[in-house]
Structure 1
């Protein structure tokens, strides 16, 4: 008995592969070339073309003076039972943590930053005992945040 004949282009033994798979491979290659040509950066225009600045023009530009401002930030914590822990933003904008803090507690930090730049200040604490706990942040003598809690183990946060 002889095996059934395969239709032309069906890819039987010793025969051509199906035309459909060739079309898919060619299509994938065409898409890859199109994507690569879109993603590949274009050659940078040379100096002297309209809208371009030469390196000598860049070197001759006047530097912009940045005005720095120094701010004094005072973090304060008051209350009857102290705090189990507290965290505040330090002078270098990092976080400082302390545990078993007795109240009243305060720390003063000085920060210098470009004028107009937002200043972030935060103090968070957890009450250690009965009674209230109050946090306060002042910047250059002005109170910018204040909050109180009254339960043992309560957490509070002042942010400005």
Structure 2
């Protein structure tokens, strides 16, 4: 029996083997150590005579969007035969106004508030035994015009 022969590891013989250089691991560990050390000294610490500082949150003031309102003049006009029935229209403040019978020609002017960038909703509905013509003007501009004819026809005009 003899002494077992000693063999050198493959890396020591100049062959590529299973061992890998430790250089990259050392560099990564060093970077982590430096980062922890810097953070330890930079971050404020609490002591018995000085409490830890509260986290500061930047103060942001948000102003609510204010839509400028304008007052619009809406004129409803209804023409046709002698009488219109079941007249309904959007009046001042957005409320609905109803009248059972109106003599034709008929018109009414209402003031409506609306955001400056938006059109004002306007609508008129009526019935008649003959022909009916409705027209809606907003601030002097015709925004809707419609007509119907025939017994018991309903007219709906909106903008």
Establish whether TM, by shorter chain, passes 0.5: yes
Cα deviation for residue 70 of structure 1 reads: 1.4
Quick one: distance in 2 between partners of 1:99 and 1:106? 15
Q: What are the superposed Cα offsets for residues 91-126 of structure 1, whole Å, 9 maximum, x if unpaired?
A: 110111001111011110011222112310000001
Aligned 1:1-160 pairs, distance under 5 A:
48-49=56-57, 54=59, 57-58=60-61, 61=62, 64-127=65-128, 129=129, 131-160=130-159
List structure 1 runs of 4+ shifted beyond 3 angstroms.
46-49, 61-66
- Superposed CA deviations along residues 51-92 of structure 1, whole A, max 9, x for unmatched, are xx64xx43xx55655422111000011011321111000111
- Report if the CA contact (8 A) 1:87-1:125 is conserved: yes
Alignment root-mean-square deviation, CA: 2.2
Consecutive unaligned residues of structure 2, counting only runs of 5 or more, are: 1-53
The 3-state SS of whatever aligns with 1:116 is coil
Q: Secondary structure at the match of 2:93?
A: coil
- Per the alignment, in what secondary structure is the counterpart of residue 94 of structure 2? coil
Distance in 2 of aligned mates of 1:101 and 1:79: 11
* TM-score, normalised with respect to structure 2: 0.59
**Alignment: residue pair count:** 106
Compared CA separation, residues 65 and 136, structure 1 to 2 (3 A): same
1:92 is paired with a residue of what secondary structure?
A: helix
Change (3 A) 1:48 1:88: farther
| Largest Rg, 1 or 2 | 2
Unaligned runs of 5+ in 1: 1-45
Contact 1:81 1:132 in 2 (8 A): no
Shift of 1:154: 0.5
